[in-house]
Amino acid sequence: MDLESVKKSLEKGNETASLVDELPFRFLEPLITSSLKVDHIEPGRVVCSMKIPPRLIKHGNSLHGGATAALVDVVGCTAICSLGHPPLSTGVSVEINVSYMDAAYVDEEIEIEARALRVGKAVAVVSVEFKKKKTGEVLAQGRHTKYIPLASKM
């Protein structure tokens, strides 16, 4: 593939830029989470299930890795919130990593389990595991580190 073709493959979104610009503010979270169901929650642990919707797939009909990473972020933050942090005060991401081991396909049921490994005064670390609900097979494992800003004493 020549370099111009590579460039065009990345810039193909320019054709729909006007549509994208009209998407509502903070549209990504509802796009990712609208299929989630919380099955269990306890301090430091959240278990969700999800039937993979067509809007989150890539070519090959499987869950997009970017959607998986976004779920590590969003579901991981709920594990922090379950320990008493208000939802909008879980800080900013310092690092997110995801190891992908298998694929999940459209309409397949998955389970997502987030565990708070450490929530301190300034740093929180969570792990998030994705499994096929039918077999228990691990699809992906993520880890998310967040900086939690200290509350002002004023």
- Could you state, in order of their start, the residue ranges of all structural domains in the chain? 27-147
- In a 10 Å sphere around its CB, with 0-12 CB exposed, 13-18 middle and 19+ buried, how is residue 52 labelled? buried
Q: What is the pTM of this model?
A: 0.86
Helix H or strand E segment including 140: strand 138-147
Query: Which two tokens mark 87?
Result: 């939802």
Q: What is the pLDDT along the chain (154 residues), one digit of tens a residue?
A: 688 888 777 777 666 667 767 777 776 777 778 889 999 999 999 999 999 999 999 888 899 999 999 999 999 999 999 998 877 677 899 999 999 999 999 999 999 999 999 998 889 999 999 999 999 999 999 999 999 887 666 5
What gap in Å lies between CA 133 and CA 122, rounded to an integer?
34
Domain 27-147 has CATH 3.30.750.80: no
CB 104 within 8 A of CB 35: no
